[in-house]
Amino acid sequence: MTKIHQLYSLGQSIWLDYINRDFILEGKFKALLDLGITGMTSNPTIFEKAIVYSNAYDLQLKELVNQGKNDLDIYSALVIEDIKIAADTLLPIYEMTSGKDGYVSLEVNPLLAQDSDSTINEAITLWQQVNRPNLMIKIPATKEGLPAITQVIAAGINVNVTLIFSITRYTEVIRAYYTGLESRLDAGHTINSIHSVASFFISRLDTKIDKVLDNMLATGDLSPSKNKTLKGRAAVANARTAYQLFSNDFSSERYKPLETRGANIQRPLWASTSTKNPSYSDILYIQELIGSHTVNTATQESIMAFLDHGKVMPTIDSNLDQAEELFANLSEIGIDMDKVTWELEQEGVNLFSASFNTLILNLNKKKSNLLSG
């Protein structure tokens, strides 16, 4: 039994934040499943690296070009094939865990993040095209994404709500999930087969706040001791606060009737958990966020690092009083968490949109190169 299996026994699932066709077909992903990994996530940046910088897709790409497909259709066909392969590889885990795990996530076009109706339509289209029960459609937790989450859940589709940074937005995400389940019940449908996760982005919060703290230190507006006390702590504190909200909300009076009708809890998922600051532990955002009913989606490097020197023990409920104190201290020096997390949401949408545009641009270049021999 590996440490990943031990984490699972504590109630935490580890999903791989990576996808590549050769990686799956050559058995490398299966080797990680044997270590205890129970799912896979993807995003436009990951697909860009996979498709553009690998020749595993060239044969299918040539076929699609010969069929006269445009760039967006080619992208969609390549991605959907990868997702199908991954879903089929994960299906035994999905069946063994009765639908709790064994998922692969596919993101709607990030250019639609501010368009509710288009997001809903794309989510339904992707769900139908992949046609696998262990698919999760990723929908960003933007203001416009919230009604899309509700409608897609009501349609009976599994949803990975992504790009969550703030506690306020997380509360709205939970409400959107409840409303979707209630709407589905009102329409006479069952809800026991619907699963969802709420992806809280972790490391980006520390990166952003640490930069502000270092700037204040450089200008003399913050003492070295205060800087040291505050740096690298906001992300874990924010996630632990979110976990408390999760624990309270999914034992609330609103959720209980849904639970009796077969509803599944919407698990918190810790995303963007690779450590960006080399002075911090390389497993900081895995080690400090271990708790039941959670998912941590990590890179292969982070997973191997945890297998090497991670400690398996519950940590998500630790130092909760210190989290509140930290946010008060940040507020005192002028760092507004609501403002910071709103900016991170916008930056996240823009980053994924830019990655998507770059992917399409580079895919077009690769298509041209293949056509020219």
pLDDT in tens, 126-170: 999 999 999 999 999 999 999 999 999 999 999 999 999 999 999
Please enumerate in sequence order all residues whose Cβ is within 8 A of that of 345, keeping only pairs 6 or more positions apart, or say none.
141, 142, 163, 165, 166, 169
Which residues span the domain enclosing 333? Answer: 3-371
For residue 273, which of 236, 318, 237, 247 has the smallest C-alpha distance?
A: 236
For residue 250, which of 262, 267, 236, 237 has the smallest C-alpha distance?
A: 267
Whose tokens are 């297998």? That residue is 307
Could you give the CA distance from residue 338 to residue 238 in angstroms, rounded to a whole number? 11
On the question of pLDDT at 247 being above 80, the answer is: yes
Distances in whole angstroms, Cα of residue 24 to Cα of each of 30, 40, 56, 233: 7, 11, 11, 36
Q: What is the mean pLDDT of residues 308-315?
A: 97
Cα–Cα–Cα angle for 12, 161, 118, rounded to 5 degrees? 160
Could you give the CA distance from residue 20 to residue 100 in angstroms, rounded to a whole number? 24
Q: Burial of 167 by CB count in 10 Å (0-12 exposed, 13-18 middle, 19+ buried)?
A: middle
Could you give the CA distance from residue 215 to residue 219 in angstroms, rounded to a whole number? 6
Could you give the CA distance from residue 160 to residue 139 in angstroms, rounded to a whole number? 6
pLDDT in tens, 51-63: 888 888 888 988 9
Tokens of 15: 């999903």
- Percent of the chain scored above 70 by pLDDT? 100
Q: What is the mean pLDDT of residues 190-207?
A: 97
Whose tokens are 């398996």? That residue is 312
Query: Which amino acid is residue 18, in one-letter code?
Result: Y
Instruction: Work out the pLDDT band at 365, boundaries 50, 70, 90.
Output: confident
Q: How many domains does the chain have?
A: 1
Could you give the CA distance from residue 184 to residue 366 in angstroms, rounded to a whole number? 44
How far out from the chain centre does Cα 237 lie? 18
For residue 199, which of 173, 166, 162, 254 has the smallest C-alpha distance?
A: 162
* pLDDT in the model for residue 373: 63
| Residue 358 or 172, more confident | 172
* pLDDT in the model for residue 58: 87
Whether the CB-CB separation of 275 and 306 falls below 8 Å is answered with no
Query: Which amino acid is residue 273, in one-letter code?
Result: T
Could you give the CA distance from residue 17 to residue 271 in angstroms, rounded to a whole number? 8
Please confirm, yes or no, whether 62 is among the known catalytic residues.
no
Whether the CB-CB separation of 178 and 263 falls below 8 Å is answered with no
Could you give the CA distance from residue 280 to residue 238 in angstroms, rounded to a whole number? 17
Ramachandran region, residue 163 (left: φ > 0; alpha: ψ -120 to 50; beta: rest) = left
What DSSP string runs through 80-140?
HHHHHHHHHHHHHHHHHTTTSS-EEEEEPPGGGTT-HHHHHHHHHHHHHHH--TTEEEEEE
- In the set 3, 138, 208, 366, the catalytic residue is 138
Q: Burial of 304 by CB count in 10 Å (0-12 exposed, 13-18 middle, 19+ buried)?
A: middle
Distances in whole angstroms, Cα of residue 105 to Cα of each of 132, 268, 270: 11, 15, 14
CATH number of the domain within which 212 lies: 3.20.20.70
Element (H, E) at 30: helix 28-34
Q: What is the pTM of this model?
A: 0.95
pLDDT in tens, 117-131: 999 999 999 999 999
Could you give the CA distance from residue 41 to residue 106 in angstroms, rounded to a whole number? 7
Q: What is the mean pLDDT of residues 78-82?
A: 95
* pLDDT in the model for residue 52: 82
Query: Which amino acid is residue 326, in one-letter code?
Result: L
Task: Please state the φ and ψ torsions of residue 279, each to the nearest 5 degrees.
Answer: -80, -10
